[in-house]
Amino acid sequence: MDPEIKLEVMKIGLVAKFQDPEMKKALLATGDKILLEAAARDPFWGCGCTMSSKEILHKDNWKENHMGKLLMGIRTDLQTDSGC
């Protein structure tokens, strides 16, 4: 599947997910932290590292992390909409 289509489909699903008040609250509670999908076997959605690997500590080792990027973008949109 085309990467741009994958990203758009996932974004639609995530936007819907974070309309739930509890999910929205949890995402907003992350503040301005970098969100990282620790998926060693999925360099597209994740960072290509596990949570327990030493590589995760160095941003230069990260792969695409599209899930984290989408979540941070949605969080920014929610912060703007909430006046945070």
Handedness of CA 69, 75, 26, 84 (dihedral sign): positive
How many other C-beta atoms are found inside a 10 Å radius of the C-beta of residue 36? 19
- The structure's pTM equals 0.90
What's the mean pLDDT in 7-17? 98
CA distances from residue 84 to 29, 42, 49, 71, 81 in whole angstroms, order as listed:
11, 32, 31, 16, 8
Do 61 and 48 contact (CB within 8 A), yes or no? yes
pLDDT in tens, 21-33: 999 999 999 999 9
Kindly list the domain boundaries of the chain, sorted by start residue: 3-82
